[in-house]
Amino acid sequence: MGRVVYFDCPSGASGDMILGALVDAGVSVEALRAELDKLGVPGWTLGVREVRRGAFRATKVDVQVDRDVPRVQRHLADITGILGGSGLAPGLVATATRIFARLAEAEARVHGTTVDEVHFHEVGAIDAIVDVTGAVIGLHLLGAETVHVSALPLGGGFVDTAHGRMPIPGPGTAELLRGFPVVDTGVRAELVTPTGAAILTTLAAGGGPMPAMTVELVGYGAGTADLPGTPNVLRCFVGEGAEAGGTETIVQVETTIDDMSPQLYEPLMDRLFEVGALDVFLTPVVMKRSRPGTVLTALCPPDRVGDLARVLFEESTTIGVRWTAMSRARLEREMVTLTTAYGAVPAKVSRLGGRIVTVTPEFAEVARIAREKSLPVREVLDQARADARRVRDR
């Protein structure tokens, strides 16, 4: 499972809290500043200090913007231009860009506009750009291979934004949290900011309980406000994941249909896979008045729920879609190429604790070889499975 960072967010999450937790866990401030300087954006400094939040000692990180630097509204293209023109490594640029793209998608959806037309207000400011990019850099400096996040508290009340007075969580944050586990802790304040939601829900391989891991480092990042009865801290656990495989959060999206032509299911399933479904399957059911129907079930990452729901509404006759977040354990896997008597066949290798458990030939390639050689599919599949067993036994 490799190097794991688990963010425990009892009081929510923001960009500066994430940065503070990473620094407190061991990220070098000097190394972080050196990487952030590669953005080529002038007019800011990074302030780091130790504070107390309730009974906790924590690190507070502030992006301090020079007074003479105007706060400007930026589009996604402006931010991707800054990232693309920076001296940061391509992998870091790609990850930070993905976070801002999700922010733009969320804003576009709730405001009824396009991604290109979205104006970033608070999120487009220098401090937000540094927060997002700094979080990506900090995780890289810690060697994080997988990120997991606890359920996020929703908060409550109202907050003043560039769009006016908004209920908490704001519409952009609520959109980003779709499909992600959340809780209501009773605190009436903004606990999860759009920046914090975008960073964590984009990078998280799973949301919920801490995965099996050996904890080596713990860091505490402080929020700005003092919350009543709750220490305003976010903490991260850093360590090695258990070899038995990883746990992750996926979402099961379902709808029940009783009035659609069977011919339409194949293109519908193809579209669902195109927008990020991990698996799609159909279950026959008997509905009210003894009518035959079909339950369509799709599994997807939390950030793809909206896309799957949109496809279901566009491509099927359903008028309602439901979803449930759930945890799953998955084996480590990789694709290899088997050398068989009939040619090269790709296969999926799954491991448990480093030991090969299964080697599964790709059936589509087996069928293609059988067609080309005018052989029974069963014969080619048996040969591929025999070669797969030899790989497993080695």
CATH number of the domain enclosing 368: 3.10.20.300
First-to-last C-alpha distance (Å) of the chain: 22
Q: What CA–CA distance (Å, rounded) separates 256 from 321?
A: 8
Q: Residue with structure tokens 């070899």?
A: 243
| pLDDT, tens digit, 9 for 90 and up, residues 335-375 | 777 777 887 888 888 887 667 888 888 898 889 999 988 99
Q: Which residues contact 265 (CB under 8 A, 6 or more apart)?
A: 282, 294, 296
| pLDDT, tens digit, 9 for 90 and up, residues 187-237 | 999 999 999 999 999 998 878 888 878 899 999 999 998 888 889 999 999
| pLDDT, tens digit, 9 for 90 and up, residues 264-323 | 999 999 999 999 999 999 999 999 889 999 999 999 998 899 999 999 999 999 999 999
Residues 182 and 127 in one domain: yes
Q: Given pLDDT bands bounded at 50, 70 and 90, which one contains residue 1? A: low
Greatest CA separation for the chain: 75
- Number of domains the chain is built from: 3
Number of Cβ within 10 Å of residue 24's Cβ equals 25
Q: At residue 243, does pLDDT exceed 60?
A: no
Instruction: Quote the pTM value.
Output: 0.66
Whole-number pLDDT of residue 335: 77
CA 378 to the chain's CA centroid = 40
Domain extent for 317: 248-330
Mean pLDDT of the chain: 89
For residue 275, give both structure tokens. 């927008």
Residues 312 and 231 in one domain: no
CB 348 within 8 A of CB 337: no
Q: Where are the alpha helices (DSSP H) in 37-163?
A: 76-84, 90-111, 126-141
Residues 315 and 336 in one domain: no
Q: Domain boundary residue among 287, 306, 330?
A: 330
Residues 45 and 163 in one domain: yes
Residues 46 and 100 in one domain: yes
